[in-house]
């Protein structure tokens, strides 16, 4: 059985004081929730203080992106070794905002995935279609292409998570129905079985991201191929994030 994982992507939010208050509430409220892994991904400048704040807890730390080079004249960027030095265990790669706002290409994302893997961290690799692509019936084609850009049999399956994020549902308040999300997650797992094999594909956790809220989290994560959530706006409010974590834990207990 795959243990659920709930990740909070803070994006470009929170000053240090605000972040300390948020992480304190998450640590306090999440300490008694069992059966679910929790990952927090603050902005880069908050990684060191947040890592210190979660020390001694089960909460894991992740970065929102990384440059593919180990070092160099890349003003404003941060490398995988620098991120690893903060205590992070995960790095998000290919978030839709990195693809569509910053223009990251499949070739670039493949290099990022390789850099993360080479340094022993875990990739949270994001895929998802725009509303135009969904309406044109291209969802599976888009997702398959994004997977093939960067994921291959040489990538350790035990250090890979895949997050399906329909671009049309990110920050819009719109959410894929549980059935829509399950259909794409099932397709992703079938493609992972082709890349690896069936047993390894069954071991990879697949997350849903796209306006996940306390009100829809349980129904989404009750689907057989949805193993957790990559949460955006709702992770910035401790009460909401903890409710989503609790929803993930309840699906874990139910499915035992």
Active site members:
95, 165
Alpha-carbon span 36 to 63, nearest angstrom = 20
Strand ranges for 192-238 from DSSP E? 205-208, 228-231
Alpha-carbon span 36 to 48, nearest angstrom = 24
H or E stretch at 51: helix 47-54
Phi and psi for 164 in degrees, rounded to 5? -90, 120
Alpha-carbon span 6 to 64, nearest angstrom = 15
Alpha-carbon span 42 to 45, nearest angstrom = 8
The residues facing 79 across adjacent strands are: 67
- Please say whether the beta carbons of 147 and 191 come within 8 A: yes
């Amino acid at each position: 059985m795959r243990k659920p994982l709930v990740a909070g992507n803070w994006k470009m939010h929170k000053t240090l004081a605000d972040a300390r208050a948020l992480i304190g509430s998450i640590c306090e409220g999440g300490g008694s929730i069992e059966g679910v892994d929790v990952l927090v991904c603050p902005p880069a400048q908050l990684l060191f203080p947040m890592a210190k704040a979660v020390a001694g807890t089960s909460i894991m730390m992740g970065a929102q992106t990384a440059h593919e080079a180990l070092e160099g004249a890349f003003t404003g960027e941060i490398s995988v070794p620098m991120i690893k030095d903060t205590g992070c265990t995960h790095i998000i790669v290919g978030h839709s905002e990195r693809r569509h706002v910053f223009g990251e290409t499949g070739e670039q994302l493949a290099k990022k995935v390789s850099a993360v893997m080479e340094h022993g961290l875990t990739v949270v690799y994001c895929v998802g279609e725009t509303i135009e692509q969904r309406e044109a019936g291209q969802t599976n084609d888009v997702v398959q292409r994004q997977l093939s850009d960067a994921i291959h049999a040489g990538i350790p399956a035990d250090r890979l998570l895949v997050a399906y994020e329909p671009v049309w549902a990110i920050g819009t308040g719109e959410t894929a129905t549980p059935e829509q999300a399950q259909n794409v997650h099932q397709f992703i797992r079938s493609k992972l079985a082709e890349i690896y094999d069936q047993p390894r594909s069954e071991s990879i956790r697949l997350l849903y991201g796209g306006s996940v809220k306390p009100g829809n989290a349980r129904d989404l994560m009750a689907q057989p191929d949805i193993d957790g959530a990559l949460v955006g706006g709702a992770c910035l409010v401790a009460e909401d994030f903890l409710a989503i974590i609790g929803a993930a834990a309840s699906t874990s207990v139910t499915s035992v």
